[in-house]
Structures are given as C-alpha cells and as structure tokens.
A = this chain, B = another copy of it.
Amino acid sequence: MAETYAVINQKGGVGKTTTAVNLTACAALSGRKVLLVDADPQGNATSGLGVDRSILEQCLYDLLTDDSVLGPSAEAFNEVVVPTSIQNLSLLPATIDLAGADMALASVMSREAKLRQVLRAGAERYEVVLIDTAPSLGLLTINSLVAAQKVLIPIQCEYYALEGLSQLLEIIHLVQAQINPGLRIAGVILTMYDARTNLAAEVEAEVRANFPGRVFRTVIQRNVRLAEAPSYGMPAVVYDGNCPGSRAYWRLYQEVFGDAETSLGTRSESTHIG
C-alpha cells in the first residue's frame, strides 16, 4: 500500500492545494508513482493540474458512494482516475458533485472509512498518495484522516495562524483513538511567509514554540509564481521550476519524503528561500 498523506487545515487559504499539487509534482518528477486525491469539492487541485472539470463524467464522489458491499472495484477506481500532463502523476479528481458527499454519506455504514475503502480498491499501484482536503472538518475531511497514515498541516504566517488548530488536533486525536490508530502528524508547514513583515517572523516563532520539533524547517514564502501557476493548469514546480516558491517546495519535498524525524527542526534552523 502506498504511503498516504492528507494535507489538512479547516481554514481556507492557507496553501493546502498549492502544497498538495507541488509536493505531488516533486514526487512524480523524482520518478515516484504518485496519486493526488482531490477531496475538496472546490476542485482546485483538479483544475490546478490542468484537468478540465467540466468534461469529467465521474469523480471521487462516484467512488465514495459506490454501494457495493465491498466498495468499488479496481476497475471502477481506474475508470475515475485520470492522467495529468506530468509523468507518473495521476489524479482522482473532484467535480462539484463532491459537494454532495457529506449528505450522501451521512446515513451509510462506516461512513468515516469510505475513502479508505476507495483507496484500497486501487491505490496500491502508487508509491505515494496525497489527499488535498476541503476547508472544513466535515465527513469528507474525517474520511481523509481515516484513509491517511500521515497528516501535513499548512499554517499561514498571518494573524490568528493558530486559530482552529486545537480543534483540528482534537479531531486527529479522536480519529486515532476510534478508527485509525496508526495516524501520525508528519509535520506543520509554514506558508505565505512575508519576509518584509515582523508579523511573519513572530508567527513563525509562535508556531515553532507551540509545536517543538514538529514544524518543517522549510518555510514557504509568499511568491507570485506560486499564485499564478494554477491559472496555467500547472504546478509551480513545472511552470517555473526556479522561482523561490518552487525551490522551497523542492526543499520541503526532501524534508517530507526524506527522514522526517531528523529533518524536523526548530526555529533556529529554519530555512527561508528568498
């Protein structure tokens, strides 16, 4: 079974999709077979990889709501997965249908484990699976925590960065206790760092103090190339592989998919690429 990561923060605009798209692109460009699961009904990871949502006939929703007793078949899984323009990188896409998933799953058995069942149908072909999640703590996000082995938490270096974090950690704890005891926090990713402000440095210090040893050294700075890449349907690391944002994601990729225990550093070791 592939190593499965969920990129989670119930706050919107913290860089979940940018992180998911660029980390999976780095992994694929490094020769790993990668699946990006778009578990956000907004579908920004889907369009950010250049996949036209309007022509998709099926998406993750259809697999989640497959009512076979044992869940969807490998064939059904492979029918929904689409290739991307990046070699080795496949996508389990989201269309607006996915907005109905929380409702559709509300009354089914093991409703928190449907995504895990979906991934068991076909994800063993991949080395890395990364799930991009919606800005909510609804059933779809719980499913992502149940399906994942590791959690990546992007935190924006802005006011109220830690807002909602204790609630997220409680949910992670609950999922560990009830359904997925193997779930681990891979680490916190500091995003949207603006080196020109004192605020960003203060937030960074606060986050590192709150999560000693659990914040990745690499800090993702605000970068216009990261912001504009999605409108070209490309990850930044493909759109402009040498911009500061892309270089930061390459470093982050090494940290996340290298030996995380040793690479997680403290504030004094943080790495800013400007």
B112 with A174: CB separation less than 8 A: no
Taking the complex as formed, is A98 at the interface, i.e. its CB lies under 8 A from any CB of chain B? no
Taking the complex as formed, is A103 at the interface, i.e. its CB lies under 8 A from any CB of chain B? no
Determine chain A's interface SS by DSSP, over half rule.
Answer: helix
- Pick the contact of A173: B69, B175, B178 (CB < 8 A): B69
In the complex formed, the residue of B with least CB distance to A175 is B109
A109 with B109: CB separation less than 8 A: no
In the complex formed, the residue of B with least CB distance to A69 is B177
Taking the complex as formed, is A113 at the interface, i.e. its CB lies under 8 A from any CB of chain B? yes
User: Closest Cβ of chain B: how far from A62's Cβ, in Å?
Assistant: 19
Interface string of A92-134 (1 = CB under 8 A from B): 0000000000000000011011000100000000000000000
B178 with A110: CB separation less than 8 A: yes
- Pick the contact of A109: B70, B117, B178 (CB < 8 A): B178
B113 with A178: CB separation less than 8 A: yes
Taking the complex as formed, is A23 at the interface, i.e. its CB lies under 8 A from any CB of chain B? no
- Pick the contact of A179: B109, B173, B177, B178 (CB < 8 A): B109
Residues of B close to A112: CB separation below 8 A? 109-110
B179 with A142: CB separation less than 8 A: no
Residues of B close to A142: CB separation below 8 A? 109
Residues of B close to A178: CB separation below 8 A? 69, 109-110, 113, 117
B109 with A69: CB separation less than 8 A: no
In the complex formed, the residue of B with least CB distance to A117 is B178
A69 with B174: CB separation less than 8 A: yes
Residues of B close to A173: CB separation below 8 A? 69
